Amino acid sequence: MKLKTLIFYILLAISLLFFIYPVYFAFNLAFMPRAAIFQLPPNYIFQPTLDNFVKVINSWEFSKYLMNSTIVSILSVTLSLIVGLPATYALVRYDIPKKGTILSMILGIRFLPITSVAIPFYIMFVSLGLYDTMFGLLLTYILLNLPFIVWLMRGYIMDVPTELEESYEVDGLSKTQVFLRITLPLVYKGLLATVLFCFIFTWNEFGIALLLTGTNARTLPVQSLQFVASLGLDWGALCAAAVLIASPMIVFGLLIRRYLIRGLSLGAVR
């Protein structure tokens, strides 16, 4: 093995450990008894316990906030796709004036720091009666998911030859039928990758949910603040909550991993 290749693999292993260790640390604390967490020196050999998970589920109103996160994530991603996919197709296939400006404005929405609009958003939501409502949270997440969908799906749709679509139009299909029956099935791997990214963002999003919700529409990441008290952190319960919150997205990613890798390698943004 060449020295350059060896150095590359060593650096790759170090980078991998750097990113994996926090995940291992949180997973480890989630199953660690409370007494062992604060033991000095640290003891990495312990009897695993589910007490932290039981505490989260029983004293955290877990089912309520799980339902909130599930409803908001599924509805916001679904509605974002319903709006975003036709918009992307139109921006790709039709000669729209100032198309580049429109795409830049859409992308600019995603790059806008939430802190820069936090106060106006809060005042607007309170005045419109949308504060601490699922509908208000849905509107915000749809707005933030649209740039993801437009820019990711734009490259995938551009990879579909226009000649193929035109041949089906000659056979009698309308533009809508071609889009739904021909184009979308051809880019489904990229669509799955896009859906996963949007789900991860919506499911894990913290800042907006903290700003725009109280107790009724609160989601799981915001509710995890319950274990941050003035006297200290409940590390075991907090890490157990993190494992429970992250698990659905991990499972979803593993289920579509065959398509995800292929989807990410296609449709580079042009």
Asked if residue 36 belongs to a domain, the reply is no
CATH of the domain at 164: 1.10.3720.10
Asked if residue 9 belongs to a domain, the reply is no
Average pLDDT of the chain, as a whole number: 85
Q: Is the dihedral of CA 96, 101, 105, 108 positive or negative?
A: positive
Cβ contact 263:213 at 8 Å: no
Asked if residue 20 belongs to a domain, the reply is no
**Tell me, what's the pLDDT at 269?**
42
Q: In this structure, what are the phi and psi dihedrals at residue 215, rounded to the nearest 5 degrees?
A: -120, -25
* Residue-number span of the structural domain to which 167 is assigned: 60-264
Asked if residue 10 belongs to a domain, the reply is no
The answer for residues whose C-beta is within 8 angstroms of residue 209's C-beta and 6 or more apart is: 137, 217, 218, 219, 221, 222
Asked if residue 34 belongs to a domain, the reply is no
Helix axes 62-93, 51-59, angle to 10 degrees: 80
The answer for residues whose C-beta is within 8 angstroms of residue 75's C-beta and 6 or more apart is: 138
State how many domains the chain has: 1
CA pair distance 75, 108, nearest whole angstrom: 23
CA pair distance 116, 139, nearest whole angstrom: 18
Of 248 and 39, the one with more pLDDT: 248
**Tell me, what's the pLDDT at 256?**
74
Asked if residue 32 belongs to a domain, the reply is no
Cβ contact 122:131 at 8 Å: yes
Asked if residue 24 belongs to a domain, the reply is no
Residues 175-224: tens digit of each pLDDT: 889 999 999 998 888 888 889 889 999 999 998 999 999 888 999 999 88
The arithmetic mean of pLDDT across residues 159-167, rounded, is 89
